[in-house]
Structure 1
């Protein structure tokens, strides 16, 4: 008895309705995956490396034989897992994919199909999806939109304010959220940084949600957010856009940073981050930071870093901009939100 693997193209997917089974290794899945996909890997990370090495150093046939020997003991697990998902979600079309729509997804789809589990193999694999994202971003780069850049010193609650605006329907692109990184050397603490590929997919998805809005609201980020590089068209929009500067009280900023980075839970990561910038700190400041850290005085530590490191750096960058920024001063989050909304309605959205 043979079974022909049914295939489906990337254009035929229903992103919110289909059930995606990603059979790539856990490391590949962690870097980038289809929306809401479930990872049931054909090979572990080490097994994938072994198969790849065998292919390069020996032959394709030997790599196939090794792959089959690794897969056969897992057939029962694959069958039970996919059968269970099919019974749990009978109205969702099951789509199995790998990187290029090659042997891994075909092997799994063919095996479970032979055993009565109805599924499809995605032709072109996730690489086809990646191409759609890249084309979409290229089209966005050609669009003409106005940009509003929300800037402010570290701890000025820019991200929180932008999140409120986004929830109210404003065309915000929260770059930090999409990157899974807050931008500074401390930016990875308490969050899960995304890969460049995952960031670009999430960016494309958000741009589609924004649709034909004549303007976009972003935070004034640098070119990099952790390991993610911001696309050139956004950086150009930032350079040419209208800027608004949020001014929040100094000690309120310190408190916000303290609550955000939770030093009681992330002492080692904070110490590592400070180590990365220590070469830029004066000898006296480094000694003060060490003492404050040993004493657990993190609010004073953050205040010192703001006053003697981050704020001077920000002031230098601020002076390099060609255009003037409109200033919004606020003491409470709600006040900052309403003032920014008023500014948008009066001078940006028209």
Structure 2
């Protein structure tokens, strides 16, 4: 019943019980895993020190003495309850060795037979890293264009689209953070690999990705995937300026205020929203230049006051429009000009969408 069928575990979102210590789980785990540790962090550290100094037998004996009596009963009961809730699942430790075998043995003694993942976390992680290398070799098309042209919206409309920013929980700019905290680098890579594995298994033979820098917030794109993106053909969305301004105001102003207030309440939510906009502008102050930064900051303060008292957010365009004109648009144009030879299609949002919908047939894939 133990398994090495790592692909099935990820494709079917099979429930996993991770019996590693909490600190190991926090550093990296898998989307369908829950942490029910054999040892807590301090117990693991003590046993690890013993293993280095006195060897495996002494470490095992110490582990048994630490996880005994009431602690053992409580942890075993937690595993039993999870096994009953998810009888189709598996358990694992770091290498599929001592810890998962011991948990499996204790469960068996309690009348529950539950399988484990052979090779453990390390094997599952290596499988996903190999998956990232494999999927990075598939053909891909990159979607570029000025900020506000709907690149992420378009990618989420397409079967072959992979929303890198969505997986990273960050929109890639100084105003890009969301209310969801970014995951660790390992978890970002794991989630990305599982997403692409599922799409490939469902029939995707090429990818549509947004034109990203290597770093999205605090997460780095896998190097193999990023390198492939730098060589791939590119489509550019050219939407009217006023359309882009409206999109940005909706996404970064109106929806963010609503999201903060829904998460924290009206008063505290407004404070978070205010800090979010100020932080985004402050993060690019050096690139803006001190004089322009001060001008835009004063306009932001005024817009927030008007929005707070009157509920109207239109005054934000007083700083948003010049920010686009003097910072974001020149930066995106410069970056896109360096990629001119790779551009295979230009058009507005609807035209690019239509082109990408038929891209696989046109290219013979």
**Contact 2:142/2:233 (8 A) holds in 1:** yes
Alignment of 1:324-335 (within 5 A): 324=343, 326-329=345-348
Q: Distance in 2 between matches of 1:13 and 1:344?
A: 29
Give matches, 1:206-225, under 5 Å.
206-208=195-197, 209-211=199-201, 213-225=204-216
Confirm or deny that 1:280 pairs with 2:287. Answer: yes
Q: How does 1:63-102 map to 2 (within 5 A)?
A: 64=60, 67-72=63-68, 73-89=70-86, 92-102=87-97
Contact kept in structure 2, 1:10 and 1:122, CA below 8 Å? yes
Match among 219, 238, 242 for residue 233 of structure 2? 242
Q: What's the secondary structure of 2:235's corresponding residue? A: strand
Match of 2:313 in 1: none
Is the 2:154–2:353 contact (alpha carbons within 8 Å) kept by the matching residues of 1? no
Change (3 A) 1:200 1:82: same
1:149 counterpart = 2:142: yes
Deviating 4+ runs (over 6 angstroms):
none
Residues paired across the two proteins, number:
329
1:343 matched to 2:337: no
Unaligned runs of 5+ in 2: 261-269, 306-315
5+ residue gaps in structure 1? 1-6, 330-335
Deviations 1:285-323 (A, max 9, x none): 222344345442655444443333222221221221132
- Secondary structure in 2 aligned to 1:131? helix
Q: 2:15 aligned with 1:19, yes or no?
A: yes
Residues 236 and 348 (structure 1), Cα distance of their counterparts in 2 relative to 1, 3 Å cut: farther
| Alignment TM-score, normalising by the size of structure 1 | 0.79
Counterpart Cα distance in 2 of 1:8 and 1:321: 50
Equivalent-residue separation in structure 2 for 1:176 and 1:216 (angstroms): 15
From the superposition, tell whether residues 100 and 186 of structure 1 become closer, same or farther in structure 2 (CA, over 3 Å).
farther
What's the offset of the Cα at 1:346? Answer: 5.2
Q: Which secondary structure does the structure 2 equivalent of 1:122 belong to?
A: coil
- The structure carrying a bigger helix percent of its residues is 2
Q: 8 Å contact 2:170–2:217 — kept in the other structure?
A: yes
Contact 1:101/1:123, CA 8 A, preserved across alignment:
yes
1:126 maps to 2:126: no
Provide the TM-score with structure 2 as the length reference: 0.76
RMSD (Å), alpha carbons: 3.1
Question: Cα deviations across residues 134-176 of structure 1 (Å, max 9, x unaligned)?
Answer: 2223333444x2x2211122222221221122xxxx2112211
SS at match of 1:268: helix
1:22-47 per-position Cα deviation (integer Å, ceiling 9, x unaligned) = 11233432343234122112334455
Q: Determine if contact 2:148/2:245 at 8 Å carries over to the other structure.
A: no
Note closer, same or farther for the CA distance 1:152–1:102 as it changes in structure 2 (3 Å cut): same
1:103 lines up with 2:98 in the alignment: yes
Q: Tell me, what secondary structure is at the counterpart of 1:118?
A: coil
Q: Structure 1, residues 215-261: CA drift from partner, whole Å, max 9, x if none? A: 32111111122233223443344333332222342421331322454
Q: Distance in 2 between matches of 1:64 and 1:301?
A: 63
1:268 corresponds, among 275, 295, 305, to: 275
Shift of 1:60: 5.7
